């Protein structure tokens, strides 16, 4: 049997790029739109996820966002300083603008015509839209989406936490995009 050894704290805190160099890194052609996600902890967790995958941009839409919220600050761990982001009051306008820039729009929602993220194959840039846990992605955005992703749910619950669902989906997109784009 192989012996597995976890990284030490010192190894995990290895020197990072200088801030200027980091800001110039090529990011994956993936954007994320949060449609009405209200829980600041979930928003922060998604920021941390997007930092880890070098996501191009995060759009916080249709919610009252407070950058200094204690839960956001705790969950994001400062990643909002590194991930490009913006706030918009209108999700549909934001998504339509991104679509006009040549991005495929993928909503993460439970729908009759959905596919799993693994079934999606495309080299085009993609924008993942995730909705609030109560309301999901708004119908107007679903109407202009090119794809609807759905994650299998085999247990008793009807949905995953929004940051968990985003993590699963973005990991699949990350694997696909890193096989076709060099970082």
CATH number at residue 43: 3.40.1280.10
In a domain, 69, yes or no: yes
Q: What is the mean pLDDT of residues 111-116?
A: 82
- Closest listed residue to residue 63, CA positions, set 168, 167, 162: 162
| pLDDT bracket for residue 151 (50, 70, 90) | confident
pLDDT at position 13 is 67
pLDDT at position 178 is 76
pLDDT tens digits, 84-111: 889 999 999 999 999 999 999 999 988 8
In a domain, 100, yes or no: yes
CA distance 30 to 183: 13
Percent of the chain scored above 70 by pLDDT? Answer: 86
In a domain, 10, yes or no: no
Residue 77 — left, alpha, or beta (φ > 0 → left; ψ -120 to 50 → alpha)? left
- Closest listed residue to residue 57, CA positions, set 92, 35, 32, 22: 32
In a domain, 152, yes or no: yes
pLDDT at 134 over 90: no
Structural domain including 129 reads 25-180
> How many structural domains compose the chain?
1
pLDDT tens digits, 12-41: 666 666 666 656 667 778 899 999 887 887
In a domain, 2, yes or no: no
């Amino acid at each position: 049997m192989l012996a597995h050894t976890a990284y030490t704290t010192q190894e995990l805190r290895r020197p990072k790029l200088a801030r200027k160099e980091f800001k110039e890194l090529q990011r994956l052609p993936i954007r994320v739109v949060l449609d009405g996600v209200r829980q600041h902890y979930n928003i922060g967790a998604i920021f941390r996820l997007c930092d880890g995958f070098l996501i191009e941009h995060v759009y916080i839409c249709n919610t009252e966002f407070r950058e200094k919220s204690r839960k956001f600050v705790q969950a994001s761990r400062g990643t909002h300083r590194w991930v490009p982001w913006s706030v918009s009051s209108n999700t549909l306008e934001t998504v339509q603008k991104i679509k006009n820039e040549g991005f495929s729009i993928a909503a993460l929602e439970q729908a009759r015509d959905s596919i799993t993220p693994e079934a999606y194959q495309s080299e085009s840039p993609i924008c993942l839209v995730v909705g609030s846990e109560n309301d999901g992605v708004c119908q107007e955005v679903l109407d202009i989406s090119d794809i609807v992703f759905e994650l299998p749910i085999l247990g008793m619950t009807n949905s995953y936490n929004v940051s968990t669902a985003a993590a699963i989906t973005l990991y699949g997109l990350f694997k696909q995009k890193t096989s076709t784009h060099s970082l």
